[in-house]
Structure 1
Amino acid sequence: MNRHLARPAGLAASAVLLAGGLLAATAPTVTAAPAKYTQAAAAQQLRQAGIRWTSSGGCSDRNNSGCTSFEQINRTTVAGVIAFKRASGCAVTITGGTERGHAPGTYSHWNGYKVDIHVTSCVDRYVTKFRDIGPRPGDHAKQYRSPAGNVYAREGTHWDVTYLNGNL
């Protein structure tokens, strides 16, 4: 039996013809961009959670490497920092956000996946409980992976944190 199946234009789902002529569609693969915050919205969320930030330039301009910006930061990054503060009980101060001047890449500061957190003995004690995943290629920064898969890399005076989700 010859069946002609019409599919609406632009439908990304693939179809499989099963025995007996039944048609099953698989779910489309969707890669959505992460939800973002504006500077003001991210600052409000962080402030409400008791998280502080500092900027060597005393500014929040995303295009100025001397500033600490949250413009276009991923919502999951903000949620991750808040989850870290709550779970660790540590005072958390962000020293770097989405501003220019950080290393490029898909999971970069500019793309909203990373923040820098000031080193304190409390933060050090908490992060080093995570799984040691060895030195980062290139700069050999010591790295730890949280149970949620987020990566904390020790870069001298701060932790360079990549939040892949909003959990700890």
Structure 2
Amino acid sequence: MKFQRLQWIGLALMVALTGIATPKTQAQTRSWPTLSSGSSGENVVTLQAKLRHRGYTVNYNGSYDSSTVAAVQAFERANGLTADGVADPAVWERLVVTVRQGDNNIVVEALQRQLRNRYGYTKTIATVDRIFGSATNNATVSFQKSVYLGADGIAGPDTWSRLTSGDSARISHSAAVSRLSGTGISVTSSAGTAPNGASGVGSDRWLNKTSLEQVRNLSITRLIEFRNTIGCNIVITGGTETWIHSTYVQGHHTGYKIDIGLGTCADSYIRNNYSPAGTNKWSDSRGNIYFYEGDHWDITYSA
């Protein structure tokens, strides 16, 4: 055992002295996105903000351009990683910047942008100002509760992981309703009736009213984005009730599908801006399907 321990010490010293890069395929305890040249969006903004905060020269434009590749490579070399310019989980783990109430910096701005633009906290955080005040704290606490994290208002590794890649997580009915509050999206009772006259919102979701229990966080995010894009209010008429299409892999029961009521604004936008994908079906730029079923839209948010 003593000899084995000496072997490990010797190996560690050799790595330190020779500068051998750490493989980027190490197992990570948290889930992170992988970004590379050509990527764009709020996660790229977050990456660029954290690099800037650490003193790296990089554009701050949400586009994974040549300056971002170069900055990531420099960060990787500084942290003993293979310098391929790809922001994978190994990079994100080492790039974490924890922010909390009282902070005022570019990483707080990235947090505010994530919460507003990807998760719908536009009412709570009225403006993006880099100031981690009570509004940002309240939005952070609300988000943490929605993904079952300790709600301390501190944006540390777990919170950043969920913000950047936690959309596939499933959330409770109350958390979903909280996220939808003030967004212009309401939830109404479904026309269907649950078996055995069951009622109430519970984990089993056998309801006689619309349930969002265990809906995918991504589905809520995409619906909020859709509402913000079209600029008119939406009514959810079907959620995760177990008695709706319960056998589908990407169905209501599994948190992928959401039904919304008909409305001239939404109808017109879907038909005029999305691509035809079959009879009464349209696909958005991510491949999500909007299916016109006569008295409502059946939406599948898979990406």
Q: TM-score, normalised by structure 1?
A: 0.71
Aligned to 2:74: none
Contact 1:59 1:68 in 2 (8 A): no
Per the TM alignment, residue 98 of structure 1 is displaced from its structure 2 partner at its CA by 0.3
Q: Does residue 1:91 correspond to 2:225, yes or no?
A: no
Which residue type is aligned with residue 212 of structure 2? Answer: F
Q: Higher strand fraction: Structure 1 or Structure 2?
A: 1
Cα deviation 1:9-63 (Å, max 9, x = unaligned) = xxxxxxxxxxxxxxxx8959xxx89301111100010123121110047954511
Q: TM-score, normalised by structure 2?
A: 0.41
Q: Does residue 1:48 correspond to 2:182, yes or no?
A: yes
Aligned to 1:133: 277
Q: Does residue 1:113 correspond to 2:256, yes or no?
A: yes
Q: Does residue 1:38 correspond to 2:182, yes or no?
A: no
Instruction: Give 1:136-151 correspondences, 5 Å limit.
Output: 142-151=280-289
- How many residues matched? 134
Per the TM alignment, residue 134 of structure 1 is displaced from its structure 2 partner at its CA by 1.1
CA distance in 1, matches of 2:234, 2:200: 19
Which residue type is aligned with residue 98 of structure 1? Answer: T
Distance 1:156 1:60, change over 3 A: farther
CA distance in 2, matches of 1:88, 1:73: 22
Which residue type is aligned with residue 275 of structure 2? Answer: R
CA distance in 1, matches of 2:263, 2:301: 19
Aligned to 1:162: 300
CA distance in 1, matches of 2:259, 2:244: 10
Distance 1:87 1:156, change over 3 A: same
CA distance in 1, matches of 2:252, 2:237: 12
Cα deviation 1:62-119 (Å, max 9, x = unaligned) = 112x310011000000001100000011210000000122112110100000100101
* Cα-Cα RMSD: 2.5
Secondary structure, counterpart of 2:302 in structure 1 = coil
RCO higher in structure (CA 8 A, sep ≥6): 1
CA distance in 1, matches of 2:170, 2:184: 20
CA distance in 1, matches of 2:237, 2:25: 41
Percent identity, aligned pairs only, is 34
Contact 1:133 1:144 in 2 (8 A): yes
Unaligned 5+ segments in structure 1 are 1-24, 136-141
Unaligned 5+ segments in structure 2 are 1-22, 32-165, 194-198
Q: Higher helix fraction: Structure 1 or Structure 2?
A: 2
Aligned to 1:3: none
